[in-house]
Amino acid sequence: MSARILVVDDIEANRRLLQAKLEAQYHSVILASSGPQALEIARSQDPEIILLDVMMPGMDGYEVCRRLKADPVTAHIPVVMVTALSDAEDRVRGLDAGAEDFLTKPVDDFLLNSRVNTLMRYNAVTSELRKREASGLKTGAMENGGGEEPEGPARVFLIDDNPRTSARIATLLRDNGHKVMTLLESGNMGDLAQERTDVLLLSLLSKSFDPLKLCAHFKTNDVTRAVSILLICDPLERAKAVKGLEIGASDMIMAPVDTQELLARVRTQTRRTRYVEILRERVDRGLELSVIDQLTGLYNRRYMTSQLQQYMHRAVMGAKPLSVMMLDIDHFKPINDTHGHQAGDEVLQELADRLRHNIRPMDVACRPGGEEFLVILPETSGELAYAAAERVRKAIAADAFSVLSDTQRISVTVSAGVSSLQGAEDTMAELLARADSALYQAKAAGRNRVQTLAA
């Protein structure tokens, strides 16, 4: 996998050196010689990763990073600060500006490639989620939540079989406000399933188990697949670290662990884990909004038609019956006119609840629109569908509906029409038309009754 990488440095020799290193790994490289130029290129060419020099005249790397992260167009692009400054304070300053990572000059090839590869994997996930989110927003299926911030103390699970180093790292993280559980303290990994974890801190120096095998297990387990894994590595065993990154680890830190670097990397990985969680939640919410009627919580017309088509196909292929139940609230307009639209909405919500409680889990309850409801009844003959509709009708008519904070009670009834699939040549339009015709007959016969046109 190759990436489109923007290299920003005011010294041409530095730019060309990084360009050569990256192109040797088949990445596409864009060059910028100043902060303002980098901002312009980032907006116009949308690089996947930015390698940003810290010490530049005019606008330094810290300011460039802050502006990149403040701009909605470029905020998602991972920034790696490249600096000749080795002090931990300078590294933390870069992360405070919004950078995802940092590299120290002269840039080590191994560290450069490992950082780029982990960011590429991260980008692959977030890019797909952002596309889905954007698609949902464009079609109106999603709401732009905007305000979530993936910050705050991390929830870390530390896996290290050395009691001394495990206790030292755990204390260090706790002293800085993070919540830490160690494998030695818990005795097992059950806590991973019980509590949300932001970062798995896994020591490759452990001897009592195979850390790489454990890393592979985490990335194939549904509970831990999305959690960031930060490896603690032996500088002399780089091949092991590379293998861990190939398996799916998110980042690594070399032993002996530097306090400020560990805190910075835990913070970065926590931010990434939570950012992915936020994107996934938005996408899931968007998918829900695209098929759910927001007032009643039942499925909407779009979902109803797609599901009914599939159920009809299955019924024909499996030679099993299929029926639909169409319901309409009797005299709904007078409810709105007399009691107001708020009361009308509450009636719709209560009716949806009663409907849900009086059908089977396998049935699909929908609200196509207005005061009309429809239930898909798989593997159900016309006779059984009629009985189901009668059960629903009675449950709705049995007790008056309490509305407007229980200040008023309204008697509500429904009329229902039932129809059944009549073979492979039957169409959805015909099936629904028969149900609608049966519903019309129920209305004409006096309402609060069920009529069937089942075969």
Kind plus residue range of the DSSP H or E element containing 322: strand 322-329
CA distance 432 to 242: 60
Question: Catalytic residue at 350?
Answer: no
Q: Which of 48, 100, 133, 371 is catalytic?
A: 371
Going by C-alpha positions, the residue among 220, 259, 341, 355 that lies closest to residue 298 is 355
How far, in Å, are 225, 437, 452 from residue 444 at the CA level? Answer: 58, 10, 13
CA distance 176 to 174: 5
Within 292-371, residue ranges assigned H as helices are: 301-318, 332-339, 341-357
297 by Cβ neighbours in 10 Å (0-12 / 13-18 / 19+) ranks as: middle
Amino acid identity for residue 75 in this structure: A
> Other CB atoms closer than 10 Å to residue 94's CB: what's the count?
24
CA-CA-CA-CA torsion sign (183, 185, 189, 194):
negative
Neighbouring CB atoms inside 10 A of 443's CB total: 17
Q: Which residues are catalytic?
A: 371
